[in-house]
Amino acid sequence: MNFKKLDEILHYAEINKRNTLTEPEAYKFLQGAGIETVRHYFIDNIHSFMGISSETHLPFSKPKYVLKVVSPDICHKTEVGGVKIADANISSFVESYYEIIKNIKEKRPDAQIDGVLLVDFIEEAEKDRNQLLASFRHDRHMGPVLTFGQGGIFVELDNDISSRILPATKEEIRGMVKETRIYKKSLGGYRGLDKLVEEEELVQFLTVLSEIATHYSGLNESKDDPYIIEDFEINPLVISNGKLAPVDCLIKFGKKEQIIEQKANTKNLDTLLFP
């Protein structure tokens, strides 16, 4: 894993006085960690969009696309009308683009708008069984904690999640996955349901996240690594054609000297998981 490249992405956000990555930066971070992302294009204005569409034959290679606002001030885009699904034609793209800009200016006039992210529409993202959650957070008492479970809006509704304090072995991560109900629905062949993705691929994906979480935590005492990732969430992590596709990613980070590290205390686990 190229941690130097990942550090550069965090550093760029830091010098721009931000502690969160924009979505294009988050995708770049995932790619630097060796995680394949959905195809995406950053559009800073309508003229650059027209250039992208002519150079790459977009928007005709897929039936639909998703457009999402890119703003360092907006994490939850749907709530402010910052997400639109566009049909595969120029007029639909342009209409969706201007609708997003209009919505943000009305609902978040204080927000900086960098542009819009054009992302391949994944049909499976609308199916419950295909939506997973993969995340980790830095707890000031316990250090990095990895979490897996049902993704999409069902994170709040079903509370179908399981967690492990890191570092954890691959088999411990596997056990975490098997504790969830979504495992039985999507990987375990529950009542004859087909398996959507191989268990080993999911476990390996989470193992990579655990490596990132451990590196960007107080467990890494190297003075050459100044950052701690406080929150990292992929939701949904979509199962598409037997593969895992991160559709939305949120990354919040800070400097080690600004985050107090304390010895792990498992008595605080309930507070962490059920704040």
| Segment 97-116, tens digit of pLDDT | 999 999 999 999 999 999 99
- pTM metric for this prediction: 0.88
Query: Tell me, what's the pLDDT at 261?
Result: 47
DSSP string, 220-255: ---TT--EEEEEEEEEEEEEETTEEEE--EEEEEEE
Contact call for residues 93 and 49 (beta carbons, < 8 A): yes
Q: Does domain 39-121 have CATH number 3.40.630.30?
A: no
Q: Which stretches of the chain score pLDDT less than 70? A: 50-61, 154, 189, 191, 260-275
Query: Tell me, what's the pLDDT at 155?
Result: 79
Contact call for residues 232 and 270 (beta carbons, < 8 A): no
Query: Distance between CA atoms of 214 and 212, rounded to whole angstroms?
Result: 6
Extents of the domains making up the chain:
39-121, 126-273
Beta bridge partners of residue 156, listed in sequence order: none
Closest CA to 37 of 147, 99, 117: 117
Query: Tell me, what's the pLDDT at 264?
Result: 43
Q: Which CATH number fits domain 126-273: 3.40.228.10, 3.40.50.360, 3.90.1150.10, 3.30.470.20?
A: 3.30.470.20
Rounded to the nearest angstrom, the gap between the alpha carbon of residue 9 and the centroid of all alpha carbons in its chain is 15
